[in-house]
Amino acid sequence: MMTDLTQMARLDSSLLHTRLLAGARQVGGIYQLDFQHALISTDDKWKADAGGIPLHSFLIATVMPLGAVADREDEEVLLLRVDDTCQLPRQAELVEVREFAMRQMLTDGNLTIDVLTQQEMQRSGLKCRILGTFYQSELAGGQSFLDFGADIDNLYAASRYRVYKPTPDALAVVASYPQITEDELRAGTLPHLLDIGSVRYSSTRRRAREHGEHLVPVRVRVADFIEMKTAVFGMTRMGKSNTMKTLAVATYRHAKRIGEPIGQLLFDPQGEYANPNSQDDDTALAQLGGDVVIYRFGARLDETGVRPLQINFYDPAQIDAAQEVIGDVLAGAAKGEYINNFIDAELGDPQPDADGRVNFSRRNRNARARFCFYALLAKAGFDARARHRFSTVMHRELVEAFNAAGTGFTITSAGGQGQVNVEGPDALQAVADWLMDAKENGNARATSWLDDRSIDAILALYAPTGGKLGWRWLGRLRPFHSYQAGEDYADRIYTDLVAGRLVIVDLSRGTEQVLQLLSERVINHLLTRATDRFVSGQALHRMQIVIEEAHRLFDRQAYDSASPNPYVRLAKEAAKLKIGLVYATQEVTAVAPAVLANTSNWIVAHLNNSDEIRTLSKYYDFKSFESDILSAEDRGFVRIKTRSGKYIVPVQVLKFDRTMINDARAEAGLPPLAAIPAQGGR
């Protein structure tokens, strides 16, 4: 009696039995085994009773009896994946019998075959890949956990292995392994798991629905995606954006759960992250709550939760950003010393030295150059407030000469030390024009005022000669400017990310050139700020960046070139700066191999090109899924390999919808969204 009780206790404590083998349905046995593959003999009845065995389905094999205690040597379960069919040892005879039976049925209309022959006809073979071994391990304190190794450590020649199809509960364990690791057990911590979807083996799901297998959840670790590179591959309309929204919500919830800020920056080319739309159940990521900020080109100040994706070129605090934008565009449009001179011009106030002393002479020179820069903007048609005051320094004799010139405008004193003001952009241009004319006419004060390298660089654009780019050409940069923009949007976005906000940069408005430059400025600014903290030994801020059309940004030519491509910098430097990157593309071949090699998480939907799949097949064992990836065009049907995942899992990704938003809002302590009003009428 004690022996029976002991055996029952051992059986109840066996994780292999309780989590993997309980209720398993036998589908065959292994008749040939090596370290990589297992050949299985099965029959039609076993497969029918188990609900079918589709390609790439998980099977488990063991010599352990299902309802009894096994020898210690046998306490393990092999995890198999169906990769193909195989021929049985007497395959030729089976085919001959089947062909005869088929002819008899077609010609005579009935089929009379003895039971033994019929059983033989139903036999078939499956070729399975061995993914690894499940076994039970124990911690020093006696706590048990389900362990896994990505191989087998012994090989039996005898055909003792029975093969089973796991129940939905056991399949959930396999598909989401590891739900907790040895280190987490030791530390007593629980990981944050995300329900990303359900197990899906094939495009056809009739039997899976009949047997409840289409509802088996797949859970991944949110921490796998933080500070790591994640690739989302697939053709257009195959669910890439849906997947990225799901990951963004998971990261948002994860940050709330652990109580640490994790900023997210999403570039939104179609406006679907920022604006509710019907395909997402009339919801959008922007509805997550107060921690979401939208930046939009041309936004108005009265738009709630929306900030302008522009800078005020006339704001002294944004002068560096204004000069950077103009310099970048000029450098891309023309070459010449005058372009370099403009980029190097000193326009901002100089920083005090180590002792806190200010170089007033240099400060005054920069103030004069800045005054000329603003005159250049006014001449190029950049809007300013009608009564905007432009300040500079000017000798009293020069002020009096201008005021007596009859231009219709005046320069007023702004205090001591020669500080003066000019009110309005028209007056600003009038002063600049008068100074240049006065210099031409030999006015010594005007000549001295304009005698500066930075001013020369500005005036080369203000009064261009010899076919050089000038103020007329600069007019195309007016969309980057808004005198209502209170601060540089790149600075503001960085501040929002540091605070842990989800920042959506809505790129659905504006020209492609303008939007590209705006977004590149953001990336460069984030990398610069993060690098400064890294080299100075300061704690780094955790951020996630989500971008689409990555094949344009991470291509081989850009990655290998010496040009300062901000996206290439991001791909190379993100990991050390604690910046996670989620990138989506439909062209795997265009992404630089160095980027692919350093990608931790892979989510692969339908691709219609064998060249793309051939490149993909170089990573993990995606080659086994080649036929499915090429043929199955079901939206959201993906194959997932995560950083901590031990193998690829085929998944139907959850649809981003109102429920997902409300779950995240609840995590943040916010009320749910109001229900969608019923459509129709009386």
pLDDT single digits (tens) 419-476: 999 999 999 999 999 999 999 999 999 999 999 999 999 999 999 988 888 899 888 8
Do 304 and 385 sit in the same domain of this protein?
no
* Mean pLDDT, rounded, for 283-289: 88
- From residue 198, alpha-carbon distances to 218, 516, 550, 603, 654 in Å are 5, 37, 27, 14, 7
How confident is the model over 506-538, as pLDDT tens digits?
888 766 766 777 788 889 899 999 999 999 999
476 within a domain of the structure (yes/no): yes
Backbone phi, then psi, for 591, in 5-degree steps? -80, 135
Do 8 and 111 sit in the same domain of this protein?
yes
Do 437 and 373 sit in the same domain of this protein?
yes
How confident is the model over 2-30, as pLDDT tens digits?
445 444 444 456 899 899 999 999 999 99
26 within a domain of the structure (yes/no): yes
How does strand 637-641 pair with strand 649-653? antiparallel
Label residue 244 by pLDDT band (50, 70, 90). Answer: very high
What CA dihedral angle connects 624, 629, 635 and 638, to 10 degrees?
30
Do 16 and 151 sit in the same domain of this protein?
yes
How confident is the model over 316-366, as pLDDT tens digits?
888 888 888 888 888 878 888 998 999 999 998 887 777 778 788 888 899
59 within a domain of the structure (yes/no): yes
Q: Which residue segment(s) compose the domain that 255 sits in?
A: 221-309+488-667
Do 521 and 651 sit in the same domain of this protein?
yes
User: Residue 525: which CATH number?
Assistant: 3.40.50.300
679 within a domain of the structure (yes/no): no
- Whether 682 shows a pLDDT value over 50: the answer reads no
* Mean pLDDT, rounded, for 32-52: 92
- Whether 274 shows a pLDDT value over 90: the answer reads no
654 within a domain of the structure (yes/no): yes
Task: Give the residue, 7 or 608, on which the prediction is more confident.
Answer: 608
Do 451 and 469 sit in the same domain of this protein?
yes
Q: Which residues contact 653 (CB under 8 A, 6 or more apart)?
A: 196, 197, 239, 242, 243, 246, 603, 636, 637, 638
- Other C-beta atoms closer than 10 Å to the C-beta of 152 total 19
Q: State residue 332's pLDDT score.
A: 78
- Whether 601 shows a pLDDT value over 80: the answer reads yes
- From residue 381, alpha-carbon distances to 389, 426, 478, 488 in Å are 17, 10, 7, 20
- Count structural domains, the chain: 3
* Mean pLDDT, rounded, for 234-257: 90
Half-sphere exposure at residue 230, Cβ-oriented, CA atoms within 13 angstroms: 30
- Quote the tokens at residue 182: 């040895």
Q: How far apart are CA 276 and CA 214, in angstroms?
A: 29
- Whether 301 shows a pLDDT value over 70: the answer reads no
181 within a domain of the structure (yes/no): no
Q: State residue 2's pLDDT score.
A: 40
Label residue 680 by pLDDT band (50, 70, 90). Answer: very low
- Quote the tokens at residue 226: 């933080």
Do 493 and 620 sit in the same domain of this protein?
yes
- Quote the tokens at residue 25: 């349905």
Do 523 and 471 sit in the same domain of this protein?
no
376 within a domain of the structure (yes/no): yes
- Whether 416 shows a pLDDT value over 80: the answer reads no
* Mean pLDDT, rounded, for 473-499: 87
- Whether 389 shows a pLDDT value over 80: the answer reads yes
- Return the amino acid letter for 189: T
Half-sphere exposure at residue 194, Cβ-oriented, CA atoms within 13 angstroms: 27
- Quote the tokens at residue 373: 């820069």
Label residue 237 by pLDDT band (50, 70, 90). Answer: confident
Q: Which of 480, 512, 534 is the last residue of a domain?
A: 480
Q: Which of 176, 204, 239 is the last residue of a domain?
A: 176
**DSSP-derived secondary structure letter, 550:** G
How confident is the model over 89-145, as pLDDT tens digits?
887 777 777 777 766 667 776 666 656 666 677 788 999 999 999 999 988 777 889
Do 277 and 166 sit in the same domain of this protein?
no
- Quote the tokens at residue 112: 């009379």
Do 83 and 155 sit in the same domain of this protein?
yes
Do 170 and 261 sit in the same domain of this protein?
no
Q: How many residues does the chain have?
A: 682
Q: Please give the sequence-ordered ranges of beta strands (E in DSSP) within 152-260, or none if there are none.
A: 162-165, 193-199, 217-221, 229-233
Q: Which of 480, 505, 527 is the last residue of a domain?
A: 480
Q: State residue 80's pLDDT score.
A: 97
* Mean pLDDT, rounded, for 178-194: 87
How confident is the model over 136-175, as pLDDT tens digits?
998 877 788 999 999 998 887 767 899 999 999 999 999 9
246 within a domain of the structure (yes/no): yes
Do 655 and 509 sit in the same domain of this protein?
yes
Q: State residue 216's pLDDT score.
A: 93
Q: How far apart are CA 236 and CA 109, in angstroms?
A: 49
